[in-house]
Every structure is written in structure tokens, then in C-alpha cells.
Chains A and B, each alone.
Chain A
Amino acid sequence: MTDGAFIVGAFEHPARRAPDKSVAELHVESALGALADAGLGIEDVDGYFWSGMMPGLGIVSLIDYMNLRVRHVDSTDVGGASPLVHVKHAVEAIAAGKCNVALITLAGRPRSEGQATGTAPRQGNSLQPDSPWEAPFGPVTANVYGMCAMRHMYEFGTTAEQLAWVKVAASHHAQYNEQAALRDVVSVEDVLASPVVSDPLHRLDCCVITDGGGALVVARPEIAAELDRPLIRPIGMGEAVMGQDGGNIDLTVSAGSRSAPIAFDAAGVDRKDIKYASIYDSFTITVVIELEDLGFCEKGMGGRFVADGNLISGIGKLPWNTDGGGLCNNHPANRGGMTKIIEAVRQLRGEAHPAVQVANCDLALAHGTGGLMGSRHSAATLILERQ
């Protein structure tokens, strides 16, 4: 790949609760927001990327709803990491000449639909080969990630206090985000005093449930050069899927251990060069395990790494999720990948809130996990550079 492609448009839908909108409406509003940000029109879009998370041929329905005329379609669904994978696939598709302007969207309204995202089973699929061996036992989001946390604590001595620091950092950032679902700054003690959802995870170890969405526009270099936007280039991208390995599951390791080396090798940069990191925070433990697998610290040291405000912009060594992340700001469609990329783009453009903006932020990382880290999941890593 020579010049690759550029992220030229990014938009986070302002809604956190959208009882009066349809999911399709949230998609098109997000799409228009990202296209306006780029300075492009919907007629310029010739590639569409969405995980198609609707029963039936979801992506065909959405393309028809928006009346897009596209020549390249990608409905890859790997859960919450999907938008990160879509950026990778969009860059690859543009490089291969399959499209010029790629639109990526995500939207959903789990809050208005009353989903108990973390504690109730989601609609399963009896055709999935793992379903007979898991559905009877009630694996939901909170208890599956709970098992990861229990094992991490057992093997490495990670503490509930250390996990709480992840939420504390997110809340410090969210106080500056007027659109954040939760803006109150919390302490380690607040997290530990909140009720346990599933051992050892407290309510404040869990991300928010929000309606909303977001969109990105990725364009060929010749087109990006004509636009009046900072040039944000993915210089390293990795994707991976990790399951139970036939019964050898290790609950302390994520697919990020496979996606991150691919991304860093391609980018030719070191961990210490990263000025800002968006890392998916479905739960506090998710961040701890991902940080280790991304190589920001040794395996098992994630708890110590996040303690004492190390993720707080202006205080710690690794400014992280400066929008407040999924823990405080937004988690549209129960999928955190989109908002991770959007805040990384804001940081690289210098458009984050001044209180959390990283000085001269020219290299950032966005990383996400999809599915359930404690059973089978995906991960994708993007390293983004401001030109």
C-alpha cells in the first residue's frame, strides 16, 4: 500500500436516548453528520460499511432506505469492534480500487428498547455450534467479563481498587463532555460502594446503555487532498478473532494480543510513540486486559498500570478515552468501536475538549473488542497518524 486512504469525516450522534427515532433514522443522521464534517455529499458515497445488525438482509435494507448507489458493500459483523474492522476494510477496498468514498455507520437504541444489556441474555442463534453448550448456563455480558476479572485477580493479584481507577479516569474526562450520559466525577470508593452486578464487577465497573450512533467517511488520497479537513491516515491496522481454542481458553488474554502486533508492525511505531489511546471499555477489566495485550505493559501488570490516574489526560502517562468512553459518555447499539475512532480523530485534529486535548497529538491508537472476551470475541487495532 502506498498512500492508503484518509479518515476525512467523523460524527458522533448527540442522542443518548432516542425514544422518538427509528434505528434507520439514527443511521442516516449520523451519515449526514460525518459527510458534512468531511465536506462531501451522500451522492459521493460509493462504498458502504455496516455490520448489518438487523434480522434479514440488514445492509440491503439500509442502502435502500438511504437510497445509496454504491459499488462496494461490506457487512462484516464482529460485534463492537466492527467499525474498526470497517475502517481497515475501507482502506483496503480503496487501495484495491473498489470504491473512492467509504461511508461507515453504526446506530441502535437499546436504551429506549429497554434492553438489560449486561444482565439478560441477548437473542441467541440456535444454529451457532457453541449455543447448546452455553445457552443453558446463562452467560450474559456482565458475568462472562466477571469471570475474566476473577481469573485476572487470581493469577496476577489485580484488585477491585485498580479496576475502579479505569472508571475514575473516564469520569474525569466525561465531566467536560456536555453530551456524556454520566458527567459526575467518581472516586475509587464510589465504584466499590456501588452494588455488585456479577462478581467481582460493580455497577460502576460497567459501561452505560445508550441510544445513538456515529459515522465515519474514509476517502481516497486524491479526494482527501481536495477537502478542507486535517488528514488522518490509518498507518497500521490489525484484526483478529479469538475463541476457546478447543477447551484451552485463557480468560486473561484477548484477541488484541494478535491484532496489535499486526498494527504496530505495519505502522513501524513503538508503544511509547502513541500520544493518545482510545481503548474499548465495556467494563473496567476489558481495558486492563487490552492494555496488556496492546503492549502498553506486561501481561498481568494492567491493574498497576491504570492505578493512580495513569489514564487521565494531563495527569497520567497514557491519555485515554478523553470523551468519557463507554463507561461514562456513550455506548450506542451496545458497541463501542465507533466512538473509539471518533474521539481518536478529534484528538488528532486538535478538536477534543481543551481540558482533555493532548498537546501536539499526531499519533493515536484506537482499539476495540467485539463479542464476549470470556467466550469468543474479535479485536481490531488502528494506529492513526495526522499528516
Chain B
Amino acid sequence: MRTERTIPIPPRNPEIEPFFAAAAEGRFILRCCLDCAKFHWYPRSRCPFCMGPTEWREAARSGTIYSFSVMRRIKVPFALAYVELAEGPRIMTNIVDCDFDRLAIGLAVTLVFKPAEDGTPVPCFTPAPIAVTSPLATAS
């Protein structure tokens, strides 16, 4: 029986190729607007807030769980989540390498790349090694 979910291959296109090139080197990069200085997600060449030009920047690789849901009625349960990055954007991802029953909104997480079926690195998150925050830290 499999205990690791097989990750589908992300479709790629020229606009986002630098992300996967960086990921292949273990780097996590985000797009930031040159006009309004805001980070956004998912990465686009034009800023979704002001349509200004954007550039790739190295990201902090950390965040907190904004929401999650563990799919139970399936052979290999997995945790779908939105993680709120330190830079601000909330991104869809999987929480991996953890006890799903201990997940909570507000939990601190760090980035870990996981290989898709063809080896493409995909940005997932795992609970941060040290409890540096409480689940209430990001309550809104």
C-alpha cells in the first residue's frame, strides 16, 4: 500500500519557466511588482493589483496555515491547504511529512519541494521544526 501520494505533473509554459528552473536548484521565488512593490500569487508577468511589470525575487520559504482540509475518502489521504506566506500571498499547496490530525489553522510551516511524477519540484509545506508560534498567532 502506498503511503505517499503521487503528485500530478504541473503543466508548464514560458511565462513561469524561471520558477521551475529555480526550484530545480532548490530555490523558491515569487513575483513582485516593480511599480507597487507588492508580491502576488500565482506568478504573473503583470501585477494583478496594478498591471505593472514584475520581477522574480527570492522568498523566505515560511508561512502559516490559512486553511486546510484532509481528504479522507481516498486510498492515500492528503492535506490540501492554503498557506499564507511571510511575503503575504496565500497559496494553494499540500502539507506533507506530518501527522494530519495535528494540523491547525495558524500553524507555522516551512517550504519543502516534493517531486511530481516526472520529478518536477512542486512547492509543498511541512510543519516548522520548532514551535515558534502558537495557533492563535495569526488569528484575525
A residues engaging B (CB < 8 A)?
Answer: 119, 121, 126-127, 129-140, 142-144, 146-151, 154-155, 195-201, 203, 244-249, 251, 374-375
Distance (whole angstroms) from the CB of A122 to the closest CB of chain B:
13
B41 at interface by CB-CB < 8 Å: yes
B residues engaging A (CB < 8 A)?
Answer: 5, 7-13, 15-16, 38-44, 47-49, 66-74, 78, 80-82, 85, 88-94, 105, 116, 122, 124, 139-140
Point out the residues of chain B lying under 8 angstroms from A127, CB to CB. Answer: 11
Point out the residues of chain B lying under 8 angstroms from A151, CB to CB. Answer: 66-67, 105
Among A132, A135, A142, contact of B71 (Cβ-Cβ < 8 Å): A142
- Residues A147 and B68 in contact, CB atoms below 8 Å apart: yes
Point out the residues of chain A lying under 8 angstroms from B13, CB to CB. Answer: 132
Point out the residues of chain A lying under 8 angstroms from B49, CB to CB. Answer: 246
Top 9 A-B residue pairs of the complex, sorted by shortest distance between their CB atoms: A247-B89, A146-B69, A126-B11, A246-B48, A247-B41, A246-B40, A133-B42, A151-B67, A132-B10
- How many angstroms from the CA of A119 to the CA of B88 in the assembled complex? 30
Among A131, A133, A135, A139, contact of B91 (Cβ-Cβ < 8 Å): A133
Point out the residues of chain B lying under 8 angstroms from A154, CB to CB. Answer: 67, 105, 139
- Residues A247 and B91 in contact, CB atoms below 8 Å apart: yes
- Residues A137 and B82 in contact, CB atoms below 8 Å apart: no
Distance (whole angstroms) from the CB of B20 to the closest CB of chain A:
9
Question: When A137-B92, A137-B93, A246-B89 are in contact, do A147 and B69 touch as well, CB less than 8 Å?
Answer: yes
Among B80, B93, B105, contact of A143 (Cβ-Cβ < 8 Å): B80
Closest to B120 in A: A136
- Residues B92 and A133 in contact, CB atoms below 8 Å apart: yes
- Residues B71 and A198 in contact, CB atoms below 8 Å apart: yes
- Residues A197 and B72 in contact, CB atoms below 8 Å apart: yes
- Residues B40 and A247 in contact, CB atoms below 8 Å apart: yes
- How many angstroms from the CA of A136 to the CA of B78 in the assembled complex? 12
Point out the residues of chain B lying under 8 angstroms from A251, CB to CB. Answer: 66-67, 82
- How many angstroms from the CA of A201 to the CA of B71 in the assembled complex? 10
Question: When A150-B68, A247-B88 are in contact, do A133 and B74 touch as well, CB less than 8 Å?
Answer: no
- How many angstroms from the CA of A138 to the CA of B96 in the assembled complex? 13
Most buried by B among A151, A201, A244: A244
Point out the residues of chain B lying under 8 angstroms from A150, CB to CB. Answer: 67-69, 105
Point out the residues of chain B lying under 8 angstroms from A132, CB to CB. Answer: 10-13, 16, 42
- Residues B69 and A143 in contact, CB atoms below 8 Å apart: yes
Distance (whole angstroms) from the CB of A159 to the closest CB of chain B:
15
Among B7, B73, B81, B90, contact of A248 (Cβ-Cβ < 8 Å): B90
Question: When A134-B92, A246-B41, A247-B89 are in contact, do A140 and B71 touch as well, CB less than 8 Å?
Answer: yes
Can you pick out 25 interface pairs between chain A and chain B where the beta carbons lie within 8 Å of each other? A129-B44, A133-B91, A134-B92, A135-B10, A136-B10, A138-B5, A138-B8, A142-B69, A142-B71, A147-B69, A151-B105, A154-B67, A197-B73, A198-B69, A198-B80, A199-B72, A200-B69, A203-B73, A244-B41, A245-B48, A246-B47, A246-B48, A246-B49, A247-B41, A251-B82
